A and B are shown apart, each in its own frame.
Chain A
Amino acid sequence: GDSVTQKQGQVTLSEDDFLFINCTYSTTTYPTLLWYVQYPGQGPQLLLKVTTANNKGISRGFEATYDKGTTSFHLQKASVQESDSAVYFCAFCFNNAGAKLTFGGGTRLTVRP
Chain B
Amino acid sequence: GGIITQTPKFLIGQEGQKLTLKCQQNFNHDTMYWYRQDSGKGLRLIYYSITENDLQKGDLSEGYDASREKKSSFSLTVTSAQKNEMAVFLCASRNWGRAETLYFGSGTRLTVL
List residues of A whose CB falls within 8 A of some B CB. 4, 6, 9, 32, 34, 36, 41-46, 49, 89, 93-101, 103-106
Tell me the smallest distance from the CB of A61 to a CB of chain B, in Å.
20
Interface size grouping (class) on chain B? 20 to 34
**A95: B residues at CB distance < 8 A:** 99-100
Decide yes or no: A99 and B99 within 8 Å by CB, A43-B90, A105-B40 being known contacts.
yes
List residues of B whose CB falls within 8 A of some A CB. 4, 35, 40-45, 48, 50, 56, 58, 90, 92, 96, 99-107
* Inter-chain pairs besides A42-B106, A103-B35, 18 sampled, C-beta below 8 Å: A6-B42, A9-B40, A34-B100, A43-B4, A43-B90, A43-B105, A44-B90, A44-B102, A45-B104, A49-B100, A93-B99, A95-B99, A100-B45, A101-B45, A101-B102, A105-B42, A106-B40, A106-B43
A103 touches B56 (CB 8 A): no
Interface centre among B41, B99, B103 (most CB of A within 10 A): B99
B106 touches A44 (CB 8 A): no
